[in-house]
């Protein structure tokens, strides 16, 4: 009987096993909970599952099984859902597997679209432990127990709180529907979010900077920030740019102090809380014209930048007092990560060339024009030299069968830029570091041996105590570059006659040119070497004294050294000039800056009321030294580098110290994050003013109202998800003049007398000038539509600047042409700015985002007492922009004789500058902006960025048709030849000083539109699938290609609407890879 019973039970179990194996189950589920899986199994098999809903947890997994048995399904579920099971007939009992004691929690974090998330912070309150997810979204925490709470957070995603119910868990973070909580950097390291920000500011991220192939991070901002106008001064490697934010406030375009290159309208730059000296130290470029102004920002590696925040209005900038009158640009560098060691490598190569050449007259056209010019001069009785082989070799002596467009032939080459960036970072919840090194070399388009080599290193360290009360951050960076660029201008090449040869038949330089420009290629026989070393450091310390009260200290020490050497040998000069000698020059410049800013921060929440107070002070000291020697009259090029053999040496020396001392306070209040107000006050002291004038007081008020939180607005919420009105008003100042301008400064005389150096005064004494001031008004509106998929920001601003600091012009009998003083003039900048971000498409595999910004700006001179009798009467005009074009008005060609006619404004019968110069127009753009479209499809992304500018006038060329200066082809057939001709250009002449040319070129007739639409950059990036690169140890492997300045649509006939006939912005093509690995 027992055997029969055992046989029956065995047979029943066998049948159940056969049944289990016989039924095939297929599952394809995403982010599925266990109940969802079991329901699907029930549908396919009929099995009933018994379990406690509260016991099995909420874990979600992806499950893909095909033709699996029930046992295989259960084995899968047992592994990932951490369960046990027992089959009883057609019923299956499910229970949670009980972990005994502590275990290691292994988790994976991803988005709803199954994209792994890196740098997610994971916090476990019981263990007081922070960890961060790696590049694959994975993390692990030891000593965890079932039931422990866990919190996950990442900027831009909703925070997630869960309870541990398994040793292996999968977490999904959902993206925030808007960016109102994104961190925005304010002054002195304070942060806020878009909802509470009362100021006008724009943030540019590292991702956006990556899409521009430039070594100058500031140039990468062009077209991305409304109101910020960045104009490269040249297309040469490392060249500086002109930077203005919301117009030009000051009438002064420079000064004569030691910081003579200081641009009085340039914003203040702050790097990791420390002011950055953005003055170029280049000295020889100013004094001897063998070099050019280099950009000081080349010492900042764009790959080390986390973000750039541009602060515009009084509320955002007044706390910087006098230094923030022209706006503030905050640069934040990358910090260490907290998920172990991470390595990053970026390698790229760039090719650059001139995108457009100006078509010049060919040889036949040029010679026809020359002969017509001689005939005109002969008829007018203005022939001083006969047209023969000596005076006109281009017409009668040279080979007229050849035809050159020298600019295109000489510059139509490729420049190369190679970059390598390597970084390592890592750490844990309390300590982190980052170290990076980069090297790049860049050549010019005309000389492969002329270029820049640069290397840099940056180290950052961060530490915070376990209780979170103490933290310290430090940054050290060092860069060195060697610049061998010998500048060449396109002007000298486009001026060359088309039948001119640079070399003679024997290979020597050809100097047979009568237009006094010499042979432009001779400049490449000069020597130019710049060696720059730069060191920047910042230290930020913070300690929480009491709950809500903390002490902070920002300190920094920076220095820059520049050694320059240049030679102009005899071989580079025209031997027919007679008595030519060689010259050489060397200079040394250095700049030190110490900055210390202690601060107290207080923050308190009382119900829905939030109070914040910032108190602090600033001490800054900048020391500058410039020393140059100019050795001349060398009779042998072999002696140029030995100054002891120089027959004559001239010396220049300048040394100065600038000190800045201030105290500041900022008080903020908001109620329920709905009503916000900020008050700022600051008292500044500057050593650039005389006794009794050294201190100035500045301040601002900023308010914001998030009226979308009001009850009356609720009916609009389905469409308008966010609405904010903000405004600010304040006064900022400026001390942007040279050091010691109220003293009499002396300099060496050029040549020693009886071996004794003499001195002469550089300026006159005036201790009465004081702070320049700017009153700023800003009103802003922010609107978000459809969960902020469409986000609009608009601003109206009005800045009025008075008490202008400038070099006031003096009569000749004073012995000096100007003295530093406050000018009674008042200028005004007004404008409207807006940005628009639209997430057109956001799906699992495809997204499309558009960013558009535009600024409409106006500038004018409001008042200028005594303008009509001052030395500025032909420079400034009431009601007109201060950056204006002045000259003769209504210029046109007389059809009767081909002469240039202009208006006789004062009706005295004589055309003079004093009596007939008038306002012609402005070179300031009427509006600027940019539009960017970013497309992503799975691992592929495409970014297309256009910039545009509307500028009415830009000078292109100094037209002198008929001289030995070749002319653009646009003049052909458009100049006067016969009586009755109505042409744009006057009749030809061989005389460069012809009055017709002078009147024509000092009028609007020689100007063309400077407007353009430019494809600034196009970038395509492909991220290799992670399952491919994991096997090689990579966490990221991107391949990218980008192009800058690809197309420019403009009616301007010059090389570039921004640079005219000077070296244009180059077109570039870049290819590279970005990788990360552990």
CB 852 within 8 A of CB 947: no
pLDDT on residue 611: 93
pLDDT(231) > 50: yes
**pLDDT for residue 5:** 39
Helix axes 34-45, 70-80, angle to 10 degrees: 180
CB 755 within 8 A of CB 717: no
pLDDT of 282 reads 56
963-1014: per-residue pLDDT in tens?
888 999 999 999 999 999 999 999 999 988 888 888 998 888 888 888 999 9
Asked whether residue 221 falls in the same domain as residue 293, the answer is: yes
Tokens of 85: 């099971």
Looking at 65, 96, 127, which one is the last position of a domain? 96
Reported as a single tens digit per residue, the pLDDT across 485-504 is: 887 778 888 889 999 999 98
Residue 291 lies in a domain: yes
CATH number for the domain harbouring residue 50: 3.55.50.30
Lowest mean pLDDT across 236-240, 299-303, 367-371, 830-834 = 236-240
DSSP run (H or E) holding 74: helix 70-80
Does one domain contain both 251 and 315? yes
pLDDT in tens, 84-97: 777 777 777 777 76
Q: Are residues 151 and 222 in the same domain?
A: no
3-state DSSP helix/strand/coil % of the chain, to nearest 5: 15, 45, 40
Is the pLDDT confidence value at 1051 over 80? yes
Q: Check pLDDT > 80 for residue 337.
A: no
Report residue 584's pLDDT band, with 50, 70 and 90 as the boundaries. very high
Which helix (H) or strand (E) covers residue 1074, if one does? strand 1067-1077
Q: What is the pLDDT of residue 106?
A: 85
Express each pLDDT in 177-214 by its tens digit. 555 555 555 555 555 667 778 888 888 888 888 877 77
971 occurs within a structural domain: no
d(CA 421, CA 439) in angstroms, rounded, equals 7
CB 614 within 8 A of CB 600: yes
Here the tokens at position 896 are 């009767």
Give the HSE-up count for residue 34: Cα atoms under 13 Å, Cβ half-sphere: 29
Nearest to 202 by CA among 190, 185, 220: 185
Q: What CATH number corresponds to the domain at position 306?
A: 2.170.130
Q: What is the mean pLDDT of the chain?
A: 84
**Token couple for 7:** 């046989």
Given this model, what pLDDT does residue 2 score?
A: 41
Average pLDDT over residues 301-320: 84
Residue 1001 backbone dihedrals phi, psi, to 5 degrees: -80, -10
Domain boundary among 120, 152, 173: 173
Signed CA dihedral, 892, 895, 896, 899: sign only:
positive
Q: Where are the beta strands (DSSP E) in 744-825?
A: 746-748, 759-761, 772-785, 790-802, 804-809, 818-823
Same domain, 78 and 121: no
Residue 50 falls inside a structural domain: yes
Asked whether 554 and 189 are in contact (CB, 8 A), the reply is: yes
Whether residue 91 is found in the same domain as residue 133: no
259 or 169, greater pLDDT: 169
- Going by pLDDT thresholds of 50, 70 and 90, the confidence category of residue 288 is very low
In a domain, 113, yes or no: yes
Q: For residues 857 and 926, is the Cβ–Cβ distance under 8 A?
A: yes
Measured CA to CA, the distance from residue 708 to residue 139 in angstroms comes to 39
Helix (H, G, I), strand (E, B) or coil at 522: helix
Residue 293 has what pLDDT?
Answer: 66
Last-in-domain residue among 333, 351, 382: 333
Total domains in the fold of the chain: 3
Residues 92 and 107 in one domain: no
The pair of three-digit structure tokens given for residue 1076, joined into one six-digit string: 């990360």
CA separation for the pair 56, 187 (Å, rounded): 50
Q: How many CB atoms lie within 10 A of CB 427?
A: 21
Classify the phi-psi angles of 246: left when phi > 0, otherwise alpha if psi is within -120 to 50, otherwise beta: left
- The domain of 162 spans 103-173
Q: Are residues 137 and 65 in the same domain?
A: no
Distance CA 927, CA 949 (A): 6
pLDDT at 428: 80
Range scoring the smallest mean pLDDT among 146-160, 709-723, 984-998, 1028-1042:
146-160
Q: Which of 4-18, 31-45, 783-797 has the highest average model confidence (pLDDT)?
A: 783-797
Task: Quote the tokens at residue 687.
Answer: 């050593």
Structure token digits, residue 129:
């432990």
Separation of CA 518 from chain center? 38
Q: Are residues 116 and 155 in the same domain?
A: yes
Nearest alpha carbon to residue 1062 among 219, 234, 487: 234
Give the residue among 725, 691, 689, 695 at the shortest CA–CA distance from 707.
725
Residue 538 · residue 274 · CB < 8 Å? yes
Is the pLDDT score of 662 beyond 90? Answer: yes
**What is the token pair recorded at 396?**
């009668």
Query: Across residues 824-832, what is the average pLDDT?
Result: 92
Tell which phi-psi region holds residue 225, choosing left (phi > 0), alpha (psi between -120 and 50) or beta.
Answer: beta
| Encoded tokens for 448 | 């492969």
What was the pLDDT predicted at 10? 37
Radius of gyration of the chain (CA): 36
- The reported pLDDT for the residue numbered 132 is 81
Residue 750 has pLDDT above 70, yes or no: no
Name the pTM for this structure.
0.80
Q: Is the pLDDT of residue 290 over 70?
A: no
Listing DSSP states for 939-1004 in one string gives TEEEEEEEEEEE-S-EE-----TTSSS--BGGGTT-B--STT---SB----S-TT-HHHHHHHTBG
For residue 526, give the H/E element and its range: none
Output the six-digit token pair for 1058: 């921004």
Extended beta strands in 547-674, E state:
549-568, 582-606, 609-634, 648-671
Count of CB atoms situated within 10 Å of the CB of 157: 17
How far is 957 from 1062, CA to CA, in rounded Å? 10
Percent of the chain with pLDDT over 70: 89
In a domain, 33, yes or no: yes
What is the model's pLDDT at position 303? Answer: 84
What is the Cα–Cα distance from 560 to 261, expressed in whole angstroms?
15
Higher-confidence residue: 914 or 559?
559
Give a yes or no: residue 1023 inside a domain.
no
Residues 301 and 218 in one domain: yes
E-strand stretches of 1024-1066: 1034-1049
Residues 111 and 73 placed together within one structural domain of the fold: no
Residue 519 lies in a domain: no
222 & 329 share domain: yes
Mean pLDDT across the stretch 157-184? 72
Which pair of structure tokens corresponds to residue 678?
């900020």
Q: Are residues 38 and 23 in the same domain?
A: yes
Question: Where is average pLDDT lowest: 188-192, 337-341, 689-693, 1053-1057?
Answer: 188-192
Helical ranges in 179-308 per DSSP H: 206-209, 284-287
Q: Is residue 187 part of a domain?
A: no
Mean pLDDT of 542-571: 92
Say if residues 113 and 137 touch (Cβ distance below 8 Å). no
């Amino acid at each position: 009987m027992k055997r029969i019973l055992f046989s029956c039970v065995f047979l029943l179990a066998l049948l159940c096993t056969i049944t289990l194996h016989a039924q095939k189950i297929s599952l394809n589920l995403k982010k599925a909970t266990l109940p969802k899986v079991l329901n699907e199994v029930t549908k396919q098999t009929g099995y009933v599952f018994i379990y406690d809903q509260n016991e099995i947890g909420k874990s979600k997994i992806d499950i893909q099984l095909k033709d699996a048995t029930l046992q295989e399904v259960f084995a899968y579920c047992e592994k990932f859902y951490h369960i046990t099971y027992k089959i009883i007939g057609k019923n299956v009992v499910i229970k949670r597997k009980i972990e005994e004691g502590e275990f290691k929690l292994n988790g994976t974090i991803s988005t709803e679209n199954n994209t792994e998330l890196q740098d997610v912070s994971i916090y476990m309150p019981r263990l007081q432990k922070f960890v961060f997810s790696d590049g694959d979204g994975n993390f692990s925490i030891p000593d965890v127990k079932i039931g422990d709470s866990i919190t996950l957070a990442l900027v831009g995603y909703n925070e997630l709180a869960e309870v541990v119910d398994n040793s292996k868990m999968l977490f999904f973070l959902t993206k925030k529907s808007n960016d109102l909580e994104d961190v925005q950097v304010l002054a002195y390291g304070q942060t806020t979010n878009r909802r509470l920000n009362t100021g006008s500011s724009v943030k540019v991220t590292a991702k956006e900077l990556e899409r521009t192939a430039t070594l100058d991070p500031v140039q990468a901002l062009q077209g991305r920030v409304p109101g910020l106008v960045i104009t490269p001064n040249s297309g040469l490697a490392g060249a500086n740019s002109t930077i203005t934010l919301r117009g030009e406030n000051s009438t002064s375009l420079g000064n004569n102090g030691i910081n003579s290159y200081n641009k009085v309208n340039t914003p203040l730059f702050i790097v990791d809380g420390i002011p950055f000296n953005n003055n170029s130290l280049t000295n020889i470029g100013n004094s001897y014209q063998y070099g050019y102004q280099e950009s000081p920002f080349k010492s900042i590696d764009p790959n080390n930048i986390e973000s750039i925040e541009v602060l515009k209005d009084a509320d955002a900038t007044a706390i910087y007092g006098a230094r923030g009158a022209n706006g503030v640009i905050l640069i934040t560098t990358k910090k260490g990560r907290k998920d172990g060691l991470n390595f990053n490598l970026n390698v790229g190569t760039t090719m650059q060339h001139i995108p457009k050449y100006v078509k010049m007259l060919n040889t036949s056209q040029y010679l026809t024009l020359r002969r017509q010019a001689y005939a005109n001069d002969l008829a007018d009785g203005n022939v001083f030299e006969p047209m023969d082989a000596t005076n006109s070799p281009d017409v009668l002596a040279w080979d007229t069968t050849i035809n050159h467009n020298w600019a295109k032939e000489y510059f139509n080459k490729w420049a190369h830029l190679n970059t390598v960036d390597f970084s390592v970072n890592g750490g844990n919840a309390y300590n982190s570091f980052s170290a990076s090194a980069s090297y790049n070399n860049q050549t010019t388009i005309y000389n492969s041996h002329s270029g820049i080599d640069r290397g840099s290193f940056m180290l950052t360290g961060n530490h915070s105590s376990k209780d979170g009360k103490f933290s310290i951050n430090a940054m050290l960076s060092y860069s060195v570059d060697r610049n061998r660029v010998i500048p060449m201008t396109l002007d000298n090449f486009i001026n060359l006659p088309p039948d001119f040869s640079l070399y003679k038949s024997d290979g020597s330089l050809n100097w047979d040119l009568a237009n006094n420009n010499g042979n432009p290629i001779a400049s490449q026989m000069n020597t130019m070497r710049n060696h720059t070393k730069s060191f920047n450091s910042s230290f930020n310390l913070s300690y929480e004294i009491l709950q809500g009260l903390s002490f902070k200290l920002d300190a920094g020490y920076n220095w820059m050294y520049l050694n320059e050497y240049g030679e102009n040998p005899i071989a580079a000069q025209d031997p027919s000039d007679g008595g030519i000698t060689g010259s050489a020059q060397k200079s040394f410049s250095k700049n030190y800056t110490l900055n210390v800013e202690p601060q107290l921060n207080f923050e308190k929440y009382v119900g829905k009321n939030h109070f914040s107070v910032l108190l602090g002070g600033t001490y800054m000291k900048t020391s500058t030294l410039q020393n140059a020697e100019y050795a001349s009259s060398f009779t042998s090029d072999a002696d140029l580098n030995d100054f002891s053999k120089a027959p004559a040496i001239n010396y220049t020396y300048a040394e100065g110290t600038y000190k800045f001392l201030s105290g500041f306070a900022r008080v903020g209040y908001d109620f329920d994050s709905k009503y916000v107000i900020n008050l700022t006050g600051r008292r500044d002291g500057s050593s650039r003013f005389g006794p009794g004038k050294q201190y100035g007081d500045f301040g601002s008020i900023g308010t914001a109202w998030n009226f979308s939180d009001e009850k009356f607005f609720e009916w609009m919420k389905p469409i308008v998800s966010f609405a904010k009105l903000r405004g600010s008003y304040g006064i900022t100042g400026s001390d942007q003049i040279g050091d010691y301008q109220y003293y009499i400064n002396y300099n060496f005389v050029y040549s020693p007398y009886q071996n004794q150096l003499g001195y002469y005064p550089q300026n006159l004494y005036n201790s009465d000038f004081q702070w320049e001031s700017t009153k700023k008004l800003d009103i802003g509106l922010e609107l978000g539509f459809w969960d902020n998929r469409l986000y609009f920001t608009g601003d109206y601003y009005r800045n009025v600047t008075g008490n202008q600091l400038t070099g006031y012009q003096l009569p000749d009998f004073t012995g000096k042409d100007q003295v530093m003083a406050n000018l009674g003039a008042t200028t005004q900048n007004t404008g409207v700015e807006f940005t628009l971000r639209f997430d057109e498409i956001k799906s699992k595999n495809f997204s499309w985002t558009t960013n558009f910004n535009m600024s409409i700006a106006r500038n004018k001179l409001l008042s200028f007492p005594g303008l009509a009798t001052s030395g500025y009467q032909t420079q400034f005009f009431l009601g007109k922009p201060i950056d204006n074009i002045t000259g003769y008005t209504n210029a046109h060609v007389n059809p009767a004789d081909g002469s240039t006619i202009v208006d006789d404004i004062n009706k005295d019968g004589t055309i003079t500058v004093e009596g007939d110069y008038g306002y012609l127009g402005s070179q300031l753009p009427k509006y600027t902006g940019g539009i960017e479209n970013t497309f992503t499809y799975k691992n592929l992304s495409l970014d297309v960025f256009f910039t545009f500018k509307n500028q009415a006038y830009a000078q292109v060329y100094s037209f002198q048709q008929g001289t030995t200066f070749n002319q653009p082809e646009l003049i052909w057939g458009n100049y006067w030849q016969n009586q009755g001709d109505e042409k744009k250009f006057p009749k030809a002449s061989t005389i460069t000083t012809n009055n017709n040319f002078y009147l024509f070129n000092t009028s609007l007739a020689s100007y063309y539109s400077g407007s353009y639409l430019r494809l600034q950059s196009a970038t395509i990036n492909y991220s290799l699938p992670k399952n491919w690169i994991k096997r090689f140890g990579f966490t990221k492997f991107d391949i990218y290609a980008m192009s800058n300045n690809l197309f420019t649509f403009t009616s301007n006939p010059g090389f570039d609407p921004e640079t005219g006939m000077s070296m244009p912005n180059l077109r570039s093509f870049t290819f590279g890879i970005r990788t990360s690995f552990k």
